[in-house]
Homo-oligomer: A and B are copies of this chain.
């Protein structure tokens, strides 16, 4: 039986400091849980001389990555640098050196998870990444273990706290996108450069990870259709409400036989649905399986403490085995190689907002243009006639239609003389 479990840390930023803090301050309870002490052996930083709140013992710090990942005293490497490089190289090298690896790196796992797990398998080490999606919400382990007997049919996720905060403010307070974003930045919920969040990239990485696990396949994040939230306007939220909906940035994955639908975009969802009630920086994921039915996991998906909860849980799971000298055993790695459906093949309902000439016959022309593309209207609101410009806002909800036809119809509408502007179109999840 091993006497202590050596931990090496890569990165001492916000999450790294949180994790180090817990490893140092909760040492007694963690030791009790593992049955052996977790000892922080070395931490990779950029600058050893920088003033820090945690880890005041500078002998623990190094600027040389080999001191961590080649260190014979280190059993488990925690990678909290983030981003693709050099994190990917460090993880690979650590696994090749026989180290177990825990990471919160969604980009690396989304892009290279399958190969890294194969590498871990080859070297009989563990690779865990619970913090990479939803922080402290146990999503990865639920999919890997608790739902393992299920055939998963759908995943709906609110996976990005920044955008959910912005959308909540737009919906509840009628703020514009830029005002809501500014507020999120003031509160530290959005970064100075928020494009990864706002454009949906962050959510797409997370969806790639969840859906790869759920469907036993590899999904390249590049294959996920991804649309951000910056084109939404306050009036879209008002119309959504009138129709009984709200707007959320949803990450959606659905299985259809041998192919899957994976997409991230703003969606109308019914006000009565559980996900519609997920506000502010909270995340939630709804997973539907043939046995478990519809499950929802809800919690805060960001922040140093939340991520630390997942990172330390992963460390504890590995540490128990390290203590008992149980190496990872070769796990069956299943890859069903499912096809990702093109967005043009999507069938769903749609919301359109148009600016049209306020003249008789306009609705007839528009519904003809839609009908010619096999799109039928479910409801219409005409509002806000502007007497000066003689224009009106026309808001349309369609029945189920195909995306390809919708794109064609939008082009057709655009070319109608009576249509001044196709102001927005949003997919509807019913």
A316 interface residue, CB < 8 Å from B? yes
Shortest CB distance A319–B (Å): 10
Chain B residues near A292 (CB-CB < 8 A): 135-137, 299-300, 305-306, 309-310
| CB nearest to A143 among chain B residues | B138
Of B137, B277, B297, B317, the contact of A145 (CB 8 Å cutoff)? B317
Q: Tell whether, in the assembled complex, residue B146 and residue A130 are in contact, meaning their CB atoms are under 8 Å apart.
A: yes
A326 interface residue, CB < 8 Å from B? yes
Q: Tell whether, in the assembled complex, residue A332 and residue B35 are in contact, meaning their CB atoms are under 8 Å apart.
A: yes
Which A1-50 residues have C-beta < 8 A from chain B? 22, 26, 29-30, 32-35
Chain B residues near A317 (CB-CB < 8 A): 145, 148
Chain B residues near A142 (CB-CB < 8 A): 138, 141-142
A174 interface residue, CB < 8 Å from B? no
A430 interface residue, CB < 8 Å from B? no
For A135, A151, A274, the residue with the greatest tally of chain B CB atoms inside 10 Å of its CB is A274
Provide the bound-state CA to CA distance between A277 and B141, in Å. 26
| CB nearest to A286 among chain B residues | B298
Chain B residues near A103 (CB-CB < 8 A): none
Of B33, B130, B299, B326, the contact of A295 (CB 8 Å cutoff)? B299
Copies of this chain, whole number: 2
Which A297-320 residues have C-beta < 8 A from chain B? 297-300, 303, 305-306, 308-310, 312-313, 316-317, 320
Provide the bound-state CA to CA distance between A306 and B145, in Å. 15
Provide the bound-state CA to CA distance between A317 and B326, in Å. 15
Q: Tell whether, in the assembled complex, residue A148 and residue B290 are in contact, meaning their CB atoms are under 8 Å apart.
A: no
Chain B residues near A300 (CB-CB < 8 A): 292-294
Provide the bound-state CA to CA distance between A163 and B239, in Å. 38
Of B32, B138, B146, B291, the contact of A334 (CB 8 Å cutoff)? B32
Q: What is the predominant secondary structure among interface residues of chain A facing chain B? A: mixed
Chain B residues near A329 (CB-CB < 8 A): 320, 324, 326
Shortest CB distance A270–B (Å): 13
A228 interface residue, CB < 8 Å from B? no
Q: Tell whether, in the assembled complex, residue A149 and residue B316 are in contact, meaning their CB atoms are under 8 Å apart.
A: yes
A313-B147, A313-B148 given; A294·B305 CB < 8 A: no
Q: Tell whether, in the assembled complex, residue B274 and residue A290 are in contact, meaning their CB atoms are under 8 Å apart.
A: no
| CB nearest to A289 among chain B residues | B309
Chain B residues near A416 (CB-CB < 8 A): none
A150 interface residue, CB < 8 Å from B? yes
Q: Tell whether, in the assembled complex, residue A137 and residue B295 are in contact, meaning their CB atoms are under 8 Å apart.
A: yes
| CB nearest to A146 among chain B residues | B138
Q: Tell whether, in the assembled complex, residue B332 and residue A306 are in contact, meaning their CB atoms are under 8 Å apart.
A: no
A331 interface residue, CB < 8 Å from B? yes
Q: Tell whether, in the assembled complex, residue A305 and residue B291 are in contact, meaning their CB atoms are under 8 Å apart.
A: yes
| CB nearest to A30 among chain B residues | B149
Chain B residues near A147 (CB-CB < 8 A): 136, 138, 309, 313
Q: Tell whether, in the assembled complex, residue A309 and residue B150 are in contact, meaning their CB atoms are under 8 Å apart.
A: yes
Of B151, B290, B296, the contact of A299 (CB 8 Å cutoff)? B296
Which A142-173 residues have C-beta < 8 A from chain B? 142, 145-151
Provide the bound-state CA to CA distance between A277 and B277, in Å. 9
Chain B residues near A299 (CB-CB < 8 A): 292-296
Chain B residues near A303 (CB-CB < 8 A): 293
Provide the bound-state CA to CA distance between A33 and B216, in Å. 10
Q: Tell whether, in the assembled complex, residue A331 and residue B320 are in contact, meaning their CB atoms are under 8 Å apart.
A: yes
27 cross-chain CB contacts under 8 A:
A22-B291, A29-B151, A33-B148, A33-B332, A33-B334, A135-B292, A136-B292, A136-B295, A138-B145, A138-B146, A145-B316, A146-B313, A147-B313, A148-B313, A148-B316, A148-B317, A149-B309, A149-B316, A290-B305, A291-B306, A291-B309, A292-B309, A293-B305, A294-B299, A295-B299, A296-B298, A326-B329
Please report A residues at the B interface, Cβ cutoff 8 Å. Answer: 22, 26, 29-30, 32-35, 130, 135-138, 141-142, 145-151, 274, 277, 289-300, 303, 305-306, 308-310, 312-313, 316-317, 320, 324, 326, 329, 331-332, 334
The 8 A-B residue pairs with the shortest CB-CB distance in the complex, in nearest-first order = A136-B292, A149-B312, A138-B146, A291-B309, A292-B309, A296-B298, A295-B299, A324-B329
